[in-house]
Structure 1
Amino acid sequence: MSRSLAVPLVIDRSAAAPLGSQVAGQIRDALVGGVLPVGARLPSTRALAGDLGVSRSVTEQAFDQLAAEGWLETRRGSGTFVAAGATTPLRHRPSPTPRPETGLLRLDTGTPWIDPRHRAAWRRAWRDVSAATPPPAYDDPAGVRALRIELAAHLARTRGLVCEPDEILVTSGTIGGLGQVLAALPPGPVGHEDPGYRAAAEAIRASGRDLRDLPATEPITDLTGAVGVYVTPAHQHPLGPVMPGSARLSLLAAAHAAGAVVIEDDYDSEFRYDVAPVPALAALDRDRVAYLGTTSKTVAPSMRLGWLVAPPGLHRAILERREVTHDVPPWPVQRAFVSLLRDGYVDQVVRSARRTYAARAQRVTEAVRPLATPILPVAGMYATIPLPQARARRVRASAREAGFEIPMLQDYCRTAQLSGVIIGFGGCTDAELDRALAAVVRGLG
């Protein structure tokens, strides 16, 4: 090693990294760590190359790279030195604590069951994407138009929501759409059902807004001072009931009186077993309701794809912001969903899942009925069972012993004093559900 550089350098000719990158990386680490003081003179590229047994081009490349990054400076006739301010040691950043692996199968409220018999259609959709030509620049800020055309037909047919493709904005899932609505609303608090969807509550808080708790068990009749209210009228999350017609009308009246926007999260309305899916709240008042839909409960949560139908003024404000931020889901995902809608894949997986969920909902109800009563009717992909807190904890402990994690109702509450357990039956097999139910019954006994 040259006398001018008090840092041992090691060359590994078997490594994938080029030799010049190895030299530059080791000198950079020494500079960042404060090993080399400001003004320290480095050896010449010729001397350093001789010490390392490499060609001079290797050391020249390393020095040029470090000089370009501002670590080194060359003084004519004097040599190469550590640049001023280049050796301030960086603070140690502790590694993030890894999330512990529990080994438990979580029976949550949002993991869907996808019939494996439809995988061929799923693969075909992605082959369509590979054969399509992506847009040469940023795509339409509203989302792929072909997808918005398909969504308009889908919403009219399945949700009773008649709208034009230009009234639809494609979003990165429900929370992505909610965030865009919140960004476009004027300053002020936003109401939220309590208990309610935790991710939505966190999104409202993260937007810098005050969160106003509204009892989920009571009609909403007063929104004075609020600029918006988030609700799940087709299947209240996590209690389960449908918002009655009278409560829908009182909510809309309260929103009109306060000048507030009703944010409707229509997360799993496809899955009802007693009656046909309840029409969307937005179908009653397009001027006051912002409608959010998602693929998470029907196709796959990992697609991170959804849609928003907003009142005209809100739509324009969101679209103008998206033209600047390009906050639109990836084109390949949008294009794949076009194929999934056109080819009938979405309808097929919904029909299959509806049959499966109906049977599983009945099994859950029958298994616990002698000892507890779920909130009826059970819909979607989970059942909520009110229980005293001590009993709910015993049920959770029994489920954990059997290898399952079940959500607690109180975890969805903020000011509400409710307790119980929630049994999701989407993200498991029939055999796993049977084992989980046996453990739940043991905990209830």
Structure 2
Amino acid sequence: MSVPTGPKGAGEMAQGSDFLQLDASAVPRGERTEWLTGALRSAVASGVLPLGTRLPPTRVLAADLGVARGTVVEAYQRLTEEGLLTAARGAGTAVAARPLDAPAARSTGTWEPTVYAPETVDLASGIPDLAAFPRAAWLRAEREVLSTATARSLGYAPPQGTPELRTELSAWLARSRGVRAAPGQIVVTAGVTGALSILSQVLRARGLDTMAREDPGADGNRMILGHWLRSTVPVPVDGDGIDTDALAATDARAVLVTPAHQFPTGVVLSPLRRRALLAWARERDGLVIEDDYDAEYRYDRSPVGALHGLDPNLVAHTSSLSKTLAPALRAGWLVPPPHLLEDVVEARWAADLGSPSLPQLALALLLRDGTIARHLRTMRARHRARRDAAVAAVRAHLPGCTVLGVAAGLHLLVLLPGGVDDREAAARAERAGVAVQPLSRHRTAPGPPGLVIAYAGHGPARLREAVARLGAAVRL
């Protein structure tokens, strides 16, 4: 710390730290955690902070920088969760590893600067802010489950899922999504992917080996359906959702839709289309599979109830906690129509006897005590701020492009000018250190080019930097 000789005056102390020459004075208050995390991550990646280096205590660094101690604690915690730092009682916090994408330093016998490729910012993976995962709450729940578990609890659970979790999911779905399903109607799955795999096998056994799907639509879902079924039929999506007239022109008797927040366009299935879709299923003796994608995150619109509530006999409802908590949990559920329930449970049993019991019991506890609801409220506010930063950055660095899907979810769609090759644009962006998905990856029929940008995994400052790099690389 030193006495400034500039405008602040001789009696006013400058804010800053000799450690990495960090200076937070120009960083907006709400962005200091992201800034400090990025600065430390870069120092580890470049080798400025070698393995084993001890970092300053959080109180010391916070005082030097003139920031709240919680800012430093959160930055250290994020990097610890990434595996870059380690903390031990009495030993402080130290560098434990370099980022996986940081190249190893060359050994030449003499020192020389190493030229590093720019760190890739992942705007392609549609995941929430995993650094915010409620680790303490999860550990508490696991400890409580283990301390109270009976011998029976440690045995095989019903393939349909533990009664405790299904009971909590029944209440959760009723109050949050308008899905009224008794615990006995719910099947716990390994995420939405697990639900689609089970449904595909059940339908195929009943002679339905073709399924309609949205176009554009999630590439991952298309591949899963294509693995189990003979064919999938693309159906166009417009501003009101899936085109039900085009659907009626197909021979399909089952369709997969994302009505609450369509991926990747972000549109909501309109009330008129909802009625038409159910009428189509009724006339065909068919099935609507509702992937309740991104329903938990909405920012600028009224709540949209689940399609399942309109006719549980025609709709199979599925969703997961991958966007609420973390994909690593592989925690999802399926509410099939009553006439498919028995076959679905049998297929779940035949697959692997069902999901592990202990995580289900921990999750049931967190649903029951309100932890999940509180966490979701926190995440909505955090993701909204990131959405706002991403949209503003796109408008600044990709001027003239249309931005869609911003009212909800964890991604936005940027439509590029006609004639632009979005796959080449995404490739140029990746070479510049920013990973995004081309819209053409998710469509079958020709259509306008675009880029799908997943913003939830990065703070506002990092998003602004990444989108600026993206705009320079795409050069529209």
> How does the TM-score come out when normalised to structure 1?
0.73
CA deviation string 1:24-83 (max 9, x = no partner):
xxxxxxxxxxxxxxxxxxxxxxxxxxxxxxxxxxxxxxxxxxxxxxxxxxxxxxxxxxxx
In structure 1, the partner of 2:89 is none
Residue identity matched to 1:211: T
CA contact (8 A) 1:146 1:338 kept: yes
CA contact (8 A) 1:114 1:349 kept: no
CA contact (8 A) 1:187 1:227 kept: no
CA deviation string 1:168-225 (max 9, x = no partner):
1111100101111111112231001111111211111111321111112252234453
Return the alpha-carbon distance in structure 2 between the equivalents of residues 416 and 269 of structure 1. Answer: 28
Return the alpha-carbon distance in structure 2 between the equivalents of residues 362 and 421 of structure 1. Answer: 17
Residue identity matched to 1:438: A
In structure 2, the partner of 1:201 is 222
Give aligned-pair identity as a percent. 36
Note closer, same or farther for the CA distance 1:280–1:211 as it changes in structure 2 (3 Å cut).
same
Q: In structure 2, which of residues 408, 414, 422 is the aligned counterpart of residue 379 of structure 1?
A: 408
**CA displacement at 1:321 relative to structure 2:** 3.2
CA deviation string 1:304-354 (max 9, x = no partner):
110011100111211233344444111122122112212322112211121
In structure 1, the partner of 2:110 is none
In structure 2, the partner of 1:213 is 234
2:282 is the counterpart of 1:256: yes
**CA displacement at 1:257 relative to structure 2:** 1.2
Return the alpha-carbon distance in structure 2 between the equivalents of residues 121 and 421 of structure 1. Answer: 36
Return the alpha-carbon distance in structure 2 between the equivalents of residues 350 and 396 of structure 1. Answer: 31
Q: In structure 2, which of residues 156, 167, 170 is the aligned counterpart of residue 149 of structure 1?
A: 167
2:365 is the counterpart of 1:350: no
CA contact (8 A) 1:114 1:353 kept: no
Q: In structure 2, which of residues 198, 201, 221 is the aligned counterpart of residue 183 of structure 1?
A: 201
Match runs of 1:280-319 below 5 Å: 280-319=306-345
CA deviation string 1:63-109 (max 9, x = no partner):
xxxxxxxxxxxxxxxxxxxxxxxxxxxxxxxxxxxx9x996232125
Residue identity matched to 1:143: G
CA contact (8 A) 2:133 2:326 kept: no
Return the alpha-carbon distance in structure 2 between the equivalents of residues 321 and 367 of structure 1. Answer: 47
Q: In structure 1, which of residues 337, 351, 366 is the aligned counterpart of residue 363 of structure 2?
A: 337
**CA displacement at 1:266 relative to structure 2:** 0.6
Secondary structure of 2:404's aligned partner? coil
Note closer, same or farther for the CA distance 1:193–1:135 as it changes in structure 2 (3 Å cut).
same
CA contact (8 A) 2:322 2:331 kept: yes
Moved more, 267-276 or 294-303: 267-276
**CA displacement at 1:129 relative to structure 2:** 3.4
In structure 1, the partner of 2:25 is none
2:129 is the counterpart of 1:113: yes
In structure 2, the partner of 1:128 is 144
CA RMSD of superposed structures (Å): 2.4
Match runs of 1:338-417 below 5 Å: 338-369=364-395, 370-387=399-416, 388=418, 390=420, 392=422, 395-397=425-427, 399-417=429-447
Note closer, same or farther for the CA distance 1:408–1:354 as it changes in structure 2 (3 Å cut).
same
Unaligned runs of 5+ in 2: 1-100, 104-116
Secondary structure of 2:280's aligned partner? helix
Return the alpha-carbon distance in structure 1 between the equivalents of residues 353 and 441 of structure 2. Answer: 31
**CA displacement at 1:117 relative to structure 2:** 8.0
Residue identity matched to 2:128: P
Return the alpha-carbon distance in structure 2 between the equivalents of residues 375 and 396 of structure 1. Answer: 18
Return the alpha-carbon distance in structure 1 between the equivalents of residues 459 and 343 of structure 2. Answer: 44
Return the alpha-carbon distance in structure 2 between the equivalents of residues 342 and 142 of structure 1. Answer: 19
Residue identity matched to 1:380: G
| Higher alpha-carbon Rg | 1
Return the alpha-carbon distance in structure 2 between the equivalents of residues 118 and 174 of structure 1. Answer: 22
Moved more, 219-228 or 173-182: 219-228
CA contact (8 A) 1:241 1:377 kept: no
Residue identity matched to 1:379: A
In structure 2, the partner of 1:192 is 213
**CA displacement at 1:428 relative to structure 2:** 2.0
Moved more, 129-138 or 164-173: 129-138
Residue identity matched to 1:278: V
CA contact (8 A) 1:395 1:440 kept: no
**CA displacement at 1:401 relative to structure 2:** 4.4
CA contact (8 A) 2:420 2:449 kept: no
CA deviation string 1:1-28 (max 9, x = no partner):
xxxxxxxxxxxxxxxxxxxxxxxxxxxx
**CA displacement at 1:249 relative to structure 2:** 0.8
**CA displacement at 1:418 relative to structure 2:** 3.2
Secondary structure of 2:453's aligned partner? strand
Q: In structure 2, which of residues 229, 250, 254 is the aligned counterpart of residue 228 of structure 1?
A: 254
In structure 1, the partner of 2:467 is 437
CA contact (8 A) 1:138 1:326 kept: no
CA deviation string 1:228-277 (max 9, x = no partner):
10000001111111111111111111111111110000121011111233
Return the alpha-carbon distance in structure 1 between the equivalents of residues 284 and 412 of structure 2. Answer: 34
Note closer, same or farther for the CA distance 1:128–1:389 as it changes in structure 2 (3 Å cut).
farther
Note closer, same or farther for the CA distance 1:427–1:377 as it changes in structure 2 (3 Å cut).
closer
In structure 1, the partner of 2:184 is 166
Return the alpha-carbon distance in structure 2 between the equivalents of residues 122 and 403 of structure 1. Answer: 34
**CA displacement at 1:115 relative to structure 2:** 6.0
CA contact (8 A) 1:399 1:436 kept: no
Return the alpha-carbon distance in structure 1 between the equivalents of residues 135 and 158 of structure 2. Answer: 30
CA deviation string 1:378-427 (max 9, x = no partner):
42111101113536457535533442211111111122423110111112
CA deviation string 1:110-163 (max 9, x = no partner):
211146384321221222233224635421121000001100110011001112
Q: Name the count of aligned residue pairs.
A: 347
